[in-house]
């Protein structure tokens, strides 16, 4: 499997259809915007202030993380390098490649974290232990 680093994870500027009097509309379409097809969408919301989410990695899942409302931070680590991204616009998506440990925090009140994922939910794709993650990165 291809090995990615945090440098392969980036903010993607999504399409924005602006109408002066009627607001904005953003589209994500398979085959156009992402290096993967979307099989699942889920969203996190009502996260109490000060709480964090994530603290895991995925073996092969690709994701696009979007602050559909409000804001939060996503810290990614590939076991060597770490980068923090601040998401606060519904037309910006963070591309998270497989094999990244992620921590989500600094949720604003009303934040909605929408995730577009390349596969259905599979618990066996998760790595929830940091030492196991480092082992996966070094030997996996």
Residues catalogued as catalytic? 56
Report if residue 45 touches ligand TYD, rule: CB under 6 A. no
Which neighbouring-strand residues pair with 65? 94, 115
Cβ atoms of 16 and 26 within 8 Å: the answer is yes
Region of 26-34, 36-44, 58-66, 88-96 interacting with ligand TYD (CB under 6 A): 36-44
Dist CA 83 CA 65 (whole Å) = 15
Question: Judged by CB under 6 A, how many residues of this single chain contact ligand TYD?
Answer: 7
Q: Which of 30, 42, 82, 110 binds ligand TYD (CB under 6 A)?
A: 42
Dist CA 109 CA 103 (whole Å) = 18
Report if residue 68 touches ligand TYD, rule: CB under 6 A. no
Dist CA 131 CA 128 (whole Å) = 9
Judged by CB, which is closer to ligand TYD: 3, or 39?
Answer: 39
Report if residue 59 touches ligand TYD, rule: CB under 6 A. no
Say which residues have a Cβ less than 8 Å from residue 100's Cβ, sequence separation at least 6: 4, 6, 9, 57, 58, 76, 77, 78
DSSP notation for 104-121: EE-PPTT-EEEEEESS--
Report if residue 54 touches ligand TYD, rule: CB under 6 A. yes
Q: Which of 5, 53, 68, 112 binds ligand TYD (CB under 6 A)?
A: 53
Query: At its nearest, how many Å lie between ligand TYD and the CB of residue 2?
Result: 23
Query: At its nearest, how many Å lie between ligand TYD and the CB of residue 60?
Result: 15
Instruction: Summarize as ranges the residues that interact with ligand TYD (CB under 6 A).
Output: 40, 42, 44, 53-54, 56, 121
């Amino acid at each position: 499997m291809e090995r990615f680093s945090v440098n392969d994870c980036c903010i993607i500027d999504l399409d924005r259809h602006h109408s002066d009097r009627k607001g904005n509309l953003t589209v994500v379409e398979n085959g156009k915007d992402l290096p993967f097809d979307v099989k699942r969408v889920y969203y996190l919301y009502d996260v109490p202030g000060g709480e964090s989410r994530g603290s895991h990695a995925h073996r092969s899942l690709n994701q696009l993380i979007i602050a559909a409302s409000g804001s939060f931070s996503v810290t990614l680590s590939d076991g060597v390098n770490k980068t923090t991204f601040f998401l606060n616009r519904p037309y910006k998506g963070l591309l998270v490649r497989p094999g990244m440990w992620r921590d989500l925090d600094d949720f604003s009140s009303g934040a909605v974290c929408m995730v577009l994922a390349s596969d259905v939910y599979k618990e066996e794709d998760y790595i929830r232990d940091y030492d196991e993650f480092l082992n996966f990165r070094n030997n996996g």
